[in-house]
Amino acid sequence: MSEPVKSVAPVRAPIYALVGNPNCGKSTLFNALTGLKQKIGNYPGVTVEKKIGTAYSQHGQPLTIIDLPGAYSLAARSPDEAVLRDVLLGRRADTPMPDRIVCIADATNLERNLYLVHQILDLGRPVILVLNMMDVAERSGLVVRAARMEKELGIPVIPCEAVNGKGLVELKLAMSRPDLPLSRHSWAIPAPIAPAVSEIAASLAENDQRAPLIARAEALLLLTDQDSVRVAGSRPLSARTVEILRSWEKRWEGQGTDWAGSLVNSRYEVISELCAHVIDRDGAKTGASASDRIDSVVTHPVWGWLVLGTIMAALFLSIFTFAQVPMDWIGERMAALADWVKRVMPAGDLRDLVTDGAIGGVGSVITFLPQILILFFFIGLLESTGYMARAAFIMDRLMSRVGLNGKSFIPLLGSYACAIPGIMATRTIEDTKDRLVTILVAPLMSCSARLPVYLLLIAALFPSTSVPIGAKVGIMISMYALGTLGAFGFAWLFKRTLLKGEPPLMIMELPPYRLPKLRDVALHMIERAWLFLKRAGTIILGISIILWFLTAYPKAPVGATGSEQIAQSFAGMAGHALEPVIKPLGFDWEIGIGLITSFAAREVFVSSMGVIFNAESSDGNTATLHDALLSAKWPDGHALFTPLVCITLMVFYVFAMQCVSTLAVVRRETNSWRWPAFQTLYMTGTAWLVCMIIYQTGRALGF
Amino acid sequence: MAESEPAFVLFMAETIKLSSLTIGASAVVREYPKQGSAFLRLREMGVLPGTTVTLIRTAPLGDPLEIKVRGYNLTLRKTEAEHVMVETLNPAT
């Protein structure tokens, strides 16, 4: 293509795809272009976020923009990159093939950013190149000549500072042009590979109904991609094309031709030549950059740990202190709402369903929302500043001991507050198996909903107040340590057996530190929280109603107390039915009811015990409850909550999978009920086994 | 970032593993494994035969490594770096 070719203006308004490397400022640009006019969903069958937004041209014409996941290459190594590749190649039935592509490249790191751009130019569709962070490049003494680049590539090249909104007008003007030139850039495919490219392209055009230009691009891609990452929802290739591909690969292997490598090399050769023309490095500052100086502290063998520890301490401190006020507020609102319903609705089962079932059940989950939001906020902050990559860099060695990489660290750490944001944060892990292992073990980290249970049982363990605080703290720490050990132990086990795979890579960019854009972080936080509520909300509501039904039916005679009602309800029956199974752990049917109702959220155990042992006090004081627990007895008269049972019960809560919200999120993140079911089985199974050993050993030793 | 250094600078060069490079030293990538998706990705990230890389630091626990390549910072594990042979650049001999 040596002469400029004009693309024909599509009949409908063109659909734009927004593509670029991670950390190039793509989401900032997308947010700046579309404002809040965004629709966020999922690509069916894969857990990759699908974002479509609408921007308006200078004349008020709507422009549809698909924000595709950030990627370094179209040769996909992760589901994110696979979605990008498949959308651009028109392989997905659920997403229209974009007519035009806006490529964003970080002007401070142009060579590597242009690798993806170079692959995209092969697609034969109109491309607008946005050079982002021109201000940062300028400050570091780099002169990037956009005009020269435009001449070399034959496509619009727009200098931009997405953070300050500079260049947006020019970009929108270019986007609303009725015709856009196709790139007249060309590159020589290495001679030994060229015939294969033509043959595969011809087969793609003939057997896979690809347009000729796309076929060539896809052929080039297949040679470097080897289709390593296949995701649901993309159309498979025809057998004939695969056959041709394999036969070429076999031939090259025999000849010792490094086909994939030489394709990458020749792309970088073209890029280097282009960069030599358009980048002026004469004024480039030498020596350590601000980022390098920060890193010399942040990744320092001593200070690095201190920084990491301080940041994590700040995270947990803010989760447990700042979240308390809104959590109390939500609790009060929920109670007030239930009171209001009680006033306006006639007494009866329907009213109880609304107040105790729906409001009570959903309320117990909603109260965790402030913690979830703060955690999302912190994760967003760590991501947008660039610290996330450093934390992964520091922790990689430790995580590799169990076969994971450093990227699993933050999701697992976040799970100490709540497994839900932790599990949702695993999307940054590229390797599907590593991601699944992290999701499977994340709920073993003791979350904040277990805290009230631990506190109650520790109080019951030490009836007198004379016990040194150290013993209580020691037990608490042991529970957290036990969960952590369990998580790493199972990660190690799963990586060796069930989800055996290549050792994970740690080929990761350490992006320069940037000041966070609070608007983007806040937007990200709200999106995530909304996604959780939308997807998990119905399941939580459903389970809450079922749990309410189980405790409210069949009805006890009028005048029965709460504990009599629950004792003869379905939940009570289930507790009785469960007793033979949990008796080896020292638990009776009453504890069994608590274990069942804990499925709404683990801390519900506390209120269930309150109802069962008739200790519900209006001010929620646990002192009365722990007295009630201590006086609880087996039918034969020996105490129920012995110290051994308290410890065993705590250990049960460390390991058992008892959180419907988490299961709902795992279902969403893994796209099947298979994994949440497996998770419930292995976690609760482990809990039973460990508790049985502890209780029986304890009994044998005379406790 | 010069892609190819003048020959006289390489006069005293020796070929070693990327993982054995001293911190702060620069080297030109020479031999590169052909197989393995890790090495394909490393190439795509711009680490190619002929590219100059600088070892910036190792992580606090000694692994992974951080290198500077084409003006940006990249991490890779020692197990990968062991397979990449580099020719050290003797500064100003």
pLDDT at residue A493, as a whole number: 94
B62 to chain A: closest CA residue: A397
pLDDT in tens, A599-624: 878 888 888 887 787 655 444 454 56
Does residue A496 have a pLDDT over 60?
A: yes
pLDDT at residue A618, as a whole number: 44
pLDDT in tens, A42-93: 777 777 888 899 998 888 888 899 999 999 998 888 888 888 988 998 888 8
Does residue A463 have a pLDDT over 80?
A: no
* A253 interfaces chain B, CB cutoff of 8 Å: no
Q: Do B66 and A510 touch (CB under 8 A)?
A: yes
pLDDT in tens, B56-83: 999 999 989 999 999 899 999 999 999 9
pLDDT at residue A623, as a whole number: 56
Size of interface A-B (CB pairs under 8 A): 118
Residue B4 belongs to a domain: no
Nearest by CB to B72, from A77, A112, A393: name it.
Answer: A112
For residue A77, list chain B residues with Cβ-Cβ distance below 8 A. 37, 41
Q: Do B77 and A510 touch (CB under 8 A)?
A: no
CATH number at residue B29: 2.30.30.90
Decide: helix, strand or coil at residue A18.
strand
Does residue A4 have a pLDDT over 60?
A: no
Using pLDDT thresholds of 50, 70 and 90, give the confidence band for residue B22: very high
pLDDT at residue A241, as a whole number: 85
Q: Do A112 and B1 touch (CB under 8 A)?
A: no
Decide: helix, strand or coil at residue B75.
strand
- A166-170, A372-376, A399-403, B87-91 — which is least confidently predicted? B87-91
* B46 interfaces chain A, CB cutoff of 8 Å: yes
Query: CATH 3.40.50.300: which residues of chain A?
Result: 15-183
Does residue B1 have a pLDDT over 70?
A: no
**Fold (CATH) for A15-183:** Rossmann fold (3.40.50)
Residue B21 belongs to a domain: yes
Q: Do A397 and B62 touch (CB under 8 A)?
A: yes
Q: Are A199 and A248 in contact (CB under 8 A)?
A: yes
Does residue A207 have a pLDDT over 50?
A: yes
pLDDT in tens, A411-438: 998 898 889 889 988 888 888 889 999 9
Q: Give Cα A204 distance to the centre of its chain.
A: 35
* B24 interfaces chain A, CB cutoff of 8 Å: no
pLDDT at residue A36, as a whole number: 75
> Which structural domain range is residue B80 located in?
13-88
Strand partners, A18: A67, A102
Residue-averaged pLDDT of chain A: 85
**What's the predicted TM-score (pTM) here?**
0.84
Q: Rounded to whole angstroms, how far apart are CA atoms A605 and A602?
A: 6
* B38 interfaces chain A, CB cutoff of 8 Å: yes
pLDDT at residue A65, as a whole number: 93
Using pLDDT thresholds of 50, 70 and 90, give the confidence band for residue A646: very high
Nearest by CB to A115, from B44, B56, B57: name it.
Answer: B44
pLDDT at residue B92, as a whole number: 42
Q: Tell me how crowded residue B29 is: count the other CB atoms within 10 A of its CB.
A: 20
Any idea which residue has 């936080």 for tokens? A525
pLDDT at residue A466, as a whole number: 67
pLDDT at residue A226, as a whole number: 57
pLDDT at residue A2, as a whole number: 43
Which is more confident, A43 or A1?
A: A43
Total tally of structural domains belonging to chain B? 1
Q: Do B66 and A272 touch (CB under 8 A)?
A: no
For residue A295, list chain B residues with Cβ-Cβ distance below 8 A. 56-57, 66, 73
Cα separations in angstroms, A191 against A118, A263, B56: 19, 10, 37
- Of B10, B28, B5, B8, the C-alpha closest to B18 is B28
Give the rounded percent of residues in chain A with a pLDDT score beyond 90.
31
Give residue A577's identity as a one-letter amino acid code.
A
pLDDT at residue A549, as a whole number: 84
Tokens representing residue A314 in the block: 């700040």
Find the mean pLDDT for residues A240-259: 86
Q: Give Cα B24 distance to the centre of its chain.
A: 11
A76 to chain B: closest CA residue: B41
Q: Min CA distance, B47 vs chain A (Å)?
A: 10
Nearest by CB to B41, from A108, A226, A505: name it.
Answer: A505
Query: What is the ipTM score, two decimals?
Result: 0.86
pLDDT in tens, A154-172: 999 999 998 888 999 999 9
Q: Tell me how crowded residue A565 is: count the other CB atoms within 10 A of its CB.
A: 19
Q: Rounded to whole angstroms, how far apart are CA atoms A100 and A16?
A: 5
CB burial class (10 A; 0-12, 13-18, 19+) of residue A558?
exposed
Q: What strands lie across the sheet with A127-132, from one edge to the other?
A: A38-42, A49-56, A62-67, A15-20, A100-106, A127-132, A157-159
